[in-house]
Amino acid sequence: MKKIIFYLLIILIVFSCSKDEDEILPYPDEDTLHEFELHSNNRVSSLLMSSSEYNSWLNNNDFYNTEKRHALFQDIYKKFPDKYDFIFLVLNELDKPSSPSYYGSLIGVSNDVEGIGLNIYDNSAEYGSSGKLKAVMELTALEYLKYGPALHEVAHNWANFALPTHSVDNAGSNITSSLYGSHWGFTGGSTKGQLGGFKQSSLVEHGGNSYTVDAFGPNANGGNSIPYNELELYLMGMLPLSSVTDFDMFTDITSLAVNNNTFDFTASTRTTYNPGSLEDFLGKRVPNNNNAQKNFKLLIVVLTDNPLTEDEWNRVDATAEWFSKKEDDGSHLYNFWEATGGVGSITIEN
């Protein structure tokens, strides 16, 4: 019996109101607790910590220390205007350090979208924003905007708060599935999702609650190597609900066998969703895809305990340029524009 390790990223997510895209806001002129440096290409910046503060940030996972996180972002807002939908912190590490345990994590700040399974709320003032900031993210290595879980974490701003999905801890018989938090688990989609789930068209029914699907990850499917699926794009406001193909969600899973390219499983509960039943369950998405925000502004701040070298600046700046491209980059990876089918875009600027 093979054992599957399902990596669960602990994430809170949200979405908030935005100001006019063309509004030009003045940069604050306040004393900051940290020294900031802005790269000449105007895409990325750095925040210099003491060695003790940086080591604590890593080893004690201070991103999840509410008091320290709020204080850090309040300092950032003394340097930068309140024009960003997202702020990403990037650790000055070539590879993921031993701590924190995750590759990337997103914490929600505010939400003003109805019909995605998430309550309306606004904690932006605690960060120094006046309602613009939707979420903050931490990526644990310099190039993880491109080679890490950036698309996955961005999706967590809108999902999954919608469906009571299930997954299992390992393969075997006589196992019991459980609720799977903010990921798709054993749920089908138009393609495998950024937040996990299988390709619906690969489903084979054997009778007796027994099924086979192409191999998949319950919480992720290869980072930036896949685009968003239809359900993810709908929840993000990029597609109309009518464009979401019918899909199945399996719960009460009692066995799982892992083959080279497929999974065999049994599940006593199968729920099929179509656009009508999905809207009945969640309510209408407000705003709908015609009025939803599709263009976002992102600030990237590298946390470091030493001034960045030219190589370090080049690495993180290149990933920012790539992620914000509004064109096909010709590689097997998807930037945000590509992952949304050319509907959404992200502008990265200091």
pLDDT of residue 201: 98
Which range is least confidently modeled, 2-11, 16-25, 222-231, 309-318? 2-11
Question: Are the beta carbons of 183 and 7 closer than 8 angstroms?
Answer: no
For residue 310, CA distances in Å to 145, 261, 317 come to: 18, 43, 10
Identify each DSSP E strand in the chain by its residue range: 35-38, 44-48, 86-91, 104-108, 110-111, 121-122, 135-139, 166-167, 172-173, 178-179, 188-189, 198-199, 204-207, 210-214, 247-258, 262-273, 295-304, 345-348
Rounded CA-CA distance 202/204 in Å is: 6
Does the pLDDT value for residue 8 go beyond 60? no
Which pTM does this prediction carry?
Answer: 0.91
pLDDT digits (tens, 9 = 90+) for 114-151: 999 999 999 999 999 999 999 999 999 999 999 999 99
Give me the pLDDT at residue 64, please.
Answer: 98
pLDDT of residue 51: 98
Is the separation of the CB atoms in 100 and 63 below 8 Å? yes
Per-residue pLDDT reduced to its tens digit, 57-92? 999 999 999 999 999 999 999 999 999 999 999 999
Query: Which region among 17-26, 35-44, 94-103, 296-305 has the lowest average model confidence (pLDDT)?
Result: 17-26
pLDDT confidence of residue 16:
31
Domain ranges of the chain: 35-159+294-348, 166-282
pLDDT value at 32 more than 80:
yes
- pLDDT above 90 (res 95): yes
Q: Please give the pLDDT value at position 11.
A: 33
Residue pLDDT, tens place only, 243-255: 999 999 999 999 9
Give me the pLDDT at residue 5, please: 34
| Whole-number pLDDT of residue 78 | 97
Q: Tell me, what's the pLDDT at 10?
A: 33
Q: Are the C-beta atoms of residues 97 and 106 closer than 8 Å to each other? A: no
| pLDDT per position as a tens digit, 144-159 | 999 999 999 999 999 9
Mean pLDDT of the chain, nearest integer:
93
- What was the pLDDT predicted at 24? 65
pLDDT > 90 fraction of the chain, expressed in percent and rounded? 91
Judge contact between 85 and 133, C-beta under 8 A.
yes
Whole-angstrom Cα distance, residue 121 to residue 108? 10
**How far from 82 is each of 145, 239, 317, CA to CA, in Å?**
22, 28, 22
Question: Distance of CA 103 to CAs 11, 98, 155, 161, 338, Å?
Answer: 12, 10, 15, 21, 22
**For residues 115 and 119, what is the distance between their CA atoms, to the nearest angstrom?**
9
DSSP conformation letters of 196-208? B-EEGGG-EEEET
Report the alpha-carbon distance of residue 181 to residue 159 in Å, rounded: 10
